[in-house]
Amino acid sequence: MFKRIKAIIKKELYHILRDPRTLAVIFAMPVMMVLLYGYALNMDIKFIPIGFIDYDHSAESRALIQDFDASEYFNIKEFAENYTTIDYQLELGIIKAAIIIPKGFGENRKKQPVSQIQLLVDGSDPTYGNAVVNYANALVTLHSSENQNSLKMIPINFSDRFLYNPDLKGAHFIIPGLVAVIMMMVCALLTSITISREKETGTMEVLLVSPVRPIEIIAAKVIPYVVLSIIDGIFILIFAKLVFDIPLRGDLVLLLGLSILFIYCALSIGLLISSMASTQQIAMMAALVATILPSIILSGFIFPIFSMPAPIRALTAIVPAKYYMIIIRGILLKASSFRVVQTQAISLVLLGTIFLLIATIRFKTRAQ
């Protein structure tokens, strides 16, 4: 039995090492994705282009504008005279927001407890728009507390502190999640392709007539990909530490153990796909739709699950990456213990077993 498995693993390594496409998925893809997601998908928004209409022209209004100008979050593109210009520039996308300071703002500030200015935001990109509102609010609050005229009025201030990711760096959130996406890709996609390739070329037929047991074929076929996906995962974490300075706080042994549960899930899905697909093309498409896309879109990798509509939120329950995201982010950023992520761990075991059972049943019925 050991001899037979060894022979298949050896052959599988030849396939991997001689196929540029497989090599690209295993080695080039993680590098590319880490760089793309780490740098290009930068959710730390800076230099927001804004415009101002200052109807007041007072010392107070100038002080406020000065603060916006000094902030690295905003980049003042335009001082307009009237609303039409601003409207036009918002429409063209030259500016993403506009602040309108009404006449009498400076006078008001001296007498009234509350003064108002208007903020117009381009809401076509809601995430961006929200960020703009938050930054503008924070800046105005800071400004008004610093330029306090009357001592009678002491505003309540949050002394806020962000836990786990104090600088709110997007990369800290995204890169650990990438481990899930890459592992899913290597395990589910490549395993299903390698099995359907044997069916397509007719070599599976010869394997089935040989003394090799089906379970040995499958074991030998998945082992190389399991090892490679663990190497990929470790590689991404080293990269994360060195390039993005992501802390890696928790217990890495615990992370490895729970990663194996995730790999188990990914492999089960890969086998399920290959039990249905007869050609490599079909397997690739199915793996893309059934594993990669959900792992990116429905896992909380980028888009928060709690803000999805209820039916979609329910659908995320069968996306293994959802649970693994919580595990890997929890362990790396919050140093979570097993107790904290045990629900997710159990979910992975259950999901993996369900997928594996369906795959086994499908293989059996097809073999007859």
Partner 1 sequence: MNNGNVIEAQNLTRKFGNFTAVDSVTFSVGKGEVFGFLGANGAGKSTTIRMLTGILTPTGGKGSVAGFDIIREQEKIRRNIGYMSQKFSLYEDLTVEENLAFYGGIYGMSSKEMSSARKRLYERLNMGDIRRRLAGSIPLGWKQRTSLACAIQHNPRILFLDEPTGGVDPLSRRAFWDIIYDLSESGITVFVTTHYMDEAEYCGRISIMHAGKIITIGNPTVLKKEYRKKTIEDVFIYLVSNADVQTNQSNN
* Chain residues that interact with partner 1, rule: CB under 8 A: 3-4, 6-8, 10-11, 14-15, 18-19, 201-203, 205-213, 367-368
Can you read off the two tokens belonging to residue 199? 């069916």
Tell me the C-alpha to C-alpha distance, in Å, between residue 267 and each of 15, 115, 254, 365.
19, 60, 20, 20
Q: Which is nearer to partner 1, 21 or 339 (CB)?
A: 21
CB of 179 to partner 1, least distance (A): 29
CB of 320 to partner 1, least distance (A): 31
Q: Which is nearer to partner 1, 155 or 211 (CB)?
A: 211
CB of 199 to partner 1, least distance (A): 11
C-alpha 191/C-alpha 219 separation (Å) is 11
Q: Which is nearer to partner 1, 208 or 238 (CB)?
A: 208
Q: Which is nearer to partner 1, 110 or 366 (CB)?
A: 366
Tell me the C-alpha to C-alpha distance, in Å, between residue 214 and each of 2, 5, 236.
14, 11, 33
C-alpha 61/C-alpha 75 separation (Å) is 17
- DSSP for 7-61, written as a single string: HHHHHHHHHHHH-HHHHIIIIIHHHHHHHIIIIIS--S---EEEEEEESS-SHHH
- Among 76, 53, 56, residue whose Cα is nearest residue 66: 76
CB of 210 to partner 1, least distance (A): 5
Can you read off the two tokens belonging to residue 271? 């086998």
Can you read off the two tokens belonging to residue 333? 């950023």
Q: Are 333 and 176 in contact (CB under 8 A)?
A: yes
CB of 212 to partner 1, least distance (A): 5
Q: Which is nearer to partner 1, 14 or 158 (CB)?
A: 14
Q: Which is nearer to partner 1, 284 or 318 (CB)?
A: 284
Residue written as token pair 């490679």: 228
C-alpha 249/C-alpha 254 separation (Å) is 12
CB of 198 to partner 1, least distance (A): 9
Q: Which is nearer to partner 1, 223 or 254 (CB)?
A: 223
C-alpha 217/C-alpha 9 separation (Å) is 9
CB of 20 to partner 1, least distance (A): 11
Can you read off the two tokens belonging to residue 138? 């924070």
CB of 50 to partner 1, least distance (A): 58
3-state secondary structure of 166: coil
- Among 340, 341, 344, 339, residue whose Cα is nearest residue 319: 344
Q: Which is nearer to partner 1, 212 or 358 (CB)?
A: 212
Can you read off the two tokens belonging to residue 43? 């959710």
C-alpha 48/C-alpha 224 separation (Å) is 47
Residues in the chain: 368
CB of 3 to partner 1, least distance (A): 5
CB of 167 to partner 1, least distance (A): 48
Q: Which is nearer to partner 1, 149 or 210 (CB)?
A: 210
Q: Which is nearer to partner 1, 71 or 194 (CB)?
A: 194
CB-based contacts of 29: which residues, under 8 Å, 6+ apart? 182, 185
